[in-house]
Amino acid sequence: MKKQRYIAFVLLLILSLLMAACSSGSSANEPADSSDPGSSNETSAETPSEPQAAALTERLAASDLSKLPDRAKQRDDTIIVSLVNPSGAFTPYFTQVGYDGNVNSVLYTPLVKVDPNGLPVPGLAERWEISEDGLTYTYYLREGLKYSDGSPMTAEDVAFTWTLLHDPSYDGINTVVESRIVGGQDYKDGKADAIEGIQVIDERTISVTLEETNATALTVLGGQILSKAYYGKDYTFGNLDYIKDLHANPITNGPYKLERFIPGQEVRFVANEHYVFGKPKTEYFIYKTSEGDTWQFVETGEVDYGSFTATEDNLERLTGLGFLDLIPSTASNYGYNQLNLERDHLQDKRVRQALTYGLDRQLIYVEARQGAGQLANIPSSPILWSYTEEDINPYPYDPEKAKELLDEAGWVVGADGIREKDGQKLRINYLGSKSESTDIFIAVASENYAEIGVDFVPEQFPDFNTLSAKVRNGDYDMASFSTTIISDPSQGVFRFTKGQTPGYDNPVIDDLYAKSLATSDIEERKAIYHEMFKILNDELPVMFTSYSKQIVAINGRIGGFELNPLSGIGFSLADWELK
């Protein structure tokens, strides 16, 4: 008996050592290759013990292509990229899951593309004209446009696509309708058979007139175009159900066409020989579904491309693999802490500023995330043309300044160390998602806010809808969110216009917002946005927090990749080439 116990003990010991040894080796990481509106940005973060190592600032080429795994070497006509989980609705404008949008950006090329800085560049339209009054847009299509079945694409298809989206039973993204085409509402209400503002001039020319100027209209209307012959043949006003049957067999006009969709596993594409810019250089392309960890697939060469949070650990591990080109990338969205402006204490600008000064954002969003973040002080990503740091208050961590501001606002420290005003305590009820980054936020914020005399009461929710329902009901003081991908700066400031953020109403912002859309001149718009950013940075209707940073890892033998966080890989995919 004694001997047996002894053996058992030794076995246990070995087992526990084994566990300790490998627990550091396998950390999970989410790919950020999507524009899914519901997904929050989760970042794996650990408390930093070392000083900041050199972060990735520019493209780092693969150091040793001989390390390329056999699995990748054997694949000479196929490129594989991982994608979380497309659902199979491969009709643009009719997708509900963001990942289907990724698939559609491979299947379709829009009339007007968006370059890495957010500026419009020709896609299937070779050029366009905007009338003097900024209300009429004329698109000139390229010569020889064809759909994947060989049928020609003409201005009629463009008119059809725009019209279809005005159908009253349409339930998808509504930006085309919100551009307010003349006669669009009449069509939607069933008062007109066609939309008055859309004019097909000839086979390759189409013009559209808007009710009011809108600088985003050029790219919104210049989107992906459906084939009228295919998607329009069963169309009757008020019923779009037939489109659901066409999701699985799309007729497209992008670099690749759909070969096969295997639910939960892969979307297979084959090069489109009818593509207007010539057949892509690589015959096959695959989006591989990967819900969980992508590390193992990148390491074994099963996928050629992955996106990782830009932590030092990840950088080190990716560099160690040797066969990957690494490209730093900043997401085109921003994180913010929404403040309940309908509550008295937060209506005071000084309190909002104090809460920002009094929080060590550098520690929370940059250092604790191992450099995978950058502080945000305005509602625009640094990669957009609208970004500026000029005259922008960076709100460095400064508890003294915060205390000063709170004193000024009339909040005096009470007997228990918590500030009071008119018998009311300065309390912040915070709502956040259940994630590691929120844990860090709460740990730091509790300490920081205690120091400046604010009672910080955090609450975490594992479920996003529950959290947003609570926020909608106004049952909070502060809540963490991040925006969806922003490709035009107007999308970043829209939430501050009249009626969008309860309790915030600034006519100057409304006025500037209207002006920023009234012109298409980029320099003019830049000046307007800078003015808006200055105001928002000072008034802080929300507390701006951070921009998240990623590392894009792509197999070193692939040439022709161009990073474009705004349009995704569809932007350069046609040029990807296996060397």
Partner 1 sequence: MRTYLLRRCLYMLLILLGASLLIFFLFSLTPGDYVDNNLSLSEERKAELREIYGLNKPVFERYVNWMGNLLQGDLGYSLAQQRPVAQLIQDYIWNSFLLAVVATFFTWFIAVIIGVITAYKQYSLFDTLVMIGIFAAMSIPSFFIGLFLIKVFAVDLKILPPGGMITTGSRAEGWDYIVEVMNHMVLPVAVMVLLGVGSLARYLRSNVLEVIKQDYVRTARAKGLKERTVLYRHALKNAMLPAITLVGFELPGLFSGSIIIEKIFNWPGIGQLYLQSFTVRDYPLLMGFTMLLAVLTVIGTLLSDILYHASDPRVKL
Amino acid type, 507: P
Interaction pattern, residues 405-444, with partner 1; x per rule: CB under 8 A: ----------------------------------------
Task: Quote the least distance from Cβ 509 to partner 1, whole Å.
Answer: 17
- Are residues 208 and 181 in contact, defined by beta-carbon separation less than 8 angstroms? yes
Which of 314, 293, 305 has the alpha carbon at shortest distance from 369?
314
Which of 32, 55, 570, 5 has the alpha carbon at shortest distance from 332?
32
Nearer to partner 1, 15 or 61 (CB): 15
- Among residues 34, 45, 94, 162, the one that binds partner 1 under rule CB under 8 A: 94
Q: According to the binding rule CB under 8 A, does residue 397 interact with partner 1? A: no
- Are residues 87 and 100 in contact, defined by beta-carbon separation less than 8 angstroms? yes
Nearer to partner 1, 294 or 329 (CB): 294
* DSSP summary character for residue 191: S
Measured CA to CA in angstroms, residue 87 lies from 53, 91, 249, 269, 405 at distances of 40, 11, 13, 15, 51
Structure tokens at 417: 């160390």
Task: Quote the least distance from Cβ 206 to partner 1, whole Å.
Answer: 26
Nearer to partner 1, 154 or 289 (CB): 289
- Among residues 29, 41, 44, 95, the one that binds partner 1 under rule CB under 8 A: 95
Per-residue b/e over 455-468, b at no fewer than 16 CB within 10 Å? bbebeebeeeeebe
- Between CA 478 and CA 335 the distance in angstroms is 13
Q: According to the binding rule CB under 8 A, does residue 10 interact with partner 1? A: no
Q: According to the binding rule CB under 8 A, does residue 575 interact with partner 1? A: no
Interaction pattern, residues 291-310, with partner 1; x per rule: CB under 8 A: xxx--xx-xx-xx-------
Interaction pattern, residues 207-246, with partner 1; x per rule: CB under 8 A: -------------------------------------x--
Residues touching partner 1, count (CB under 8 A): 65
- Between CA 494 and CA 541 the distance in angstroms is 12
Which of 162, 194, 192, 191 has the alpha carbon at shortest distance from 178?
162
Q: According to the binding rule CB under 8 A, does residue 283 interact with partner 1? A: no
Q: According to the binding rule CB under 8 A, does residue 49 interact with partner 1? A: no
- Are residues 554 and 386 in contact, defined by beta-carbon separation less than 8 angstroms? no
Burial group, residue 61, by CB count within 10 angstroms (0-12, 13-18, 19+) = exposed
Q: According to the binding rule CB under 8 A, does residue 288 interact with partner 1? A: yes
Q: According to the binding rule CB under 8 A, does residue 67 interact with partner 1? A: no
Stretch that binds partner 1, among 398-406, 415-423, 439-447, 481-489 (CB under 8 A): 481-489
Stretch that binds partner 1, among 8-16, 113-121, 273-281, 532-540 (CB under 8 A): 8-16
Structure tokens at 206: 């189409």
Stretch that binds partner 1, among 285-293, 410-418, 537-545, 547-555 (CB under 8 A): 285-293
- Between CA 66 and CA 153 the distance in angstroms is 45
Stretch that binds partner 1, among 9-17, 41-49, 156-164, 270-278 (CB under 8 A): 9-17
Burial group, residue 88, by CB count within 10 angstroms (0-12, 13-18, 19+) = middle
Stretch that binds partner 1, among 2-10, 57-65, 110-118, 552-560 (CB under 8 A): 2-10
CB atoms within 10 A of CB 341: 17
- Are residues 566 and 121 in contact, defined by beta-carbon separation less than 8 angstroms? no
Q: According to the binding rule CB under 8 A, does residue 96 interact with partner 1? A: yes
Strand partners, 305: 81, 554
Task: Quote the least distance from Cβ 18 to partner 1, whole Å.
Answer: 9
Task: Quote the least distance from Cβ 227 to partner 1, whole Å.
Answer: 19
Q: Report the site for partner 1 in 458-477 (rule: CB under 8 A).
A: 463-466, 468-470, 472
Task: Quote the least distance from Cβ 420 to partner 1, whole Å.
Answer: 33
Q: According to the binding rule CB under 8 A, does residue 15 interact with partner 1? A: yes
Strand partners, 428: 456
CB atoms within 10 A of CB 248: 13
- Among residues 13, 17, 38, 424, the one that binds partner 1 under rule CB under 8 A: 38
**320-326-328 Cα angle (round to 5):** 125
Which of 288, 258, 253 has the alpha carbon at shortest distance from 270?
258
Nearer to partner 1, 240 or 405 (CB): 240
Continuous segment of H or E residues that includes residue 344: helix 344-347
Task: Quote the least distance from Cβ 551 to partner 1, whole Å.
Answer: 19
Interaction pattern, residues 253-272, with partner 1; x per rule: CB under 8 A: ---------xxxxx-x----
Nearer to partner 1, 40 or 446 (CB): 40
- Are residues 71 and 296 in contact, defined by beta-carbon separation less than 8 angstroms? no
Task: Quote the least distance from Cβ 37 to partner 1, whole Å.
Answer: 5
Task: Quote the least distance from Cβ 233 to partner 1, whole Å.
Answer: 20
Stretch that binds partner 1, among 106-114, 199-207, 217-225, 288-296 (CB under 8 A): 288-296
Q: According to the binding rule CB under 8 A, does residue 346 interact with partner 1? A: no
Nearer to partner 1, 15 or 201 (CB): 15
- Are residues 242 and 235 in contact, defined by beta-carbon separation less than 8 angstroms? yes
What does the CA dihedral 286, 553, 376, 334 come to, rounded to 10 degrees?
10
335-339 β-sheet, strand order:
455-461, 427-433, 478-482, 335-339, 542-544
> CB within 8 A of 226, min separation 6: which ones?
91, 92, 93, 157, 160, 161, 164, 232
Nearer to partner 1, 8 or 121 (CB): 8
Stretch that binds partner 1, among 18-26, 125-133, 535-543, 570-578 (CB under 8 A): 18-26
* DSSP summary character for residue 432: E
- Between CA 142 and CA 128 the distance in angstroms is 11
CB atoms within 10 A of CB 102: 23
Stretch that binds partner 1, among 142-150, 168-176, 192-200, 350-358 (CB under 8 A): 168-176
Q: According to the binding rule CB under 8 A, does residue 548 interact with partner 1? A: no
Q: Which residues bind partner 1 (CB under 8 A)?
A: 4-5, 7-8, 11-12, 15, 19, 22-23, 25-26, 28, 37-38, 69, 75, 78, 80, 85, 87-89, 94-97, 100, 169, 171, 174, 244, 247, 262-266, 268, 284, 286, 288-293, 296-297, 299-300, 302-303, 463-466, 468-470, 472, 481, 483-484, 491
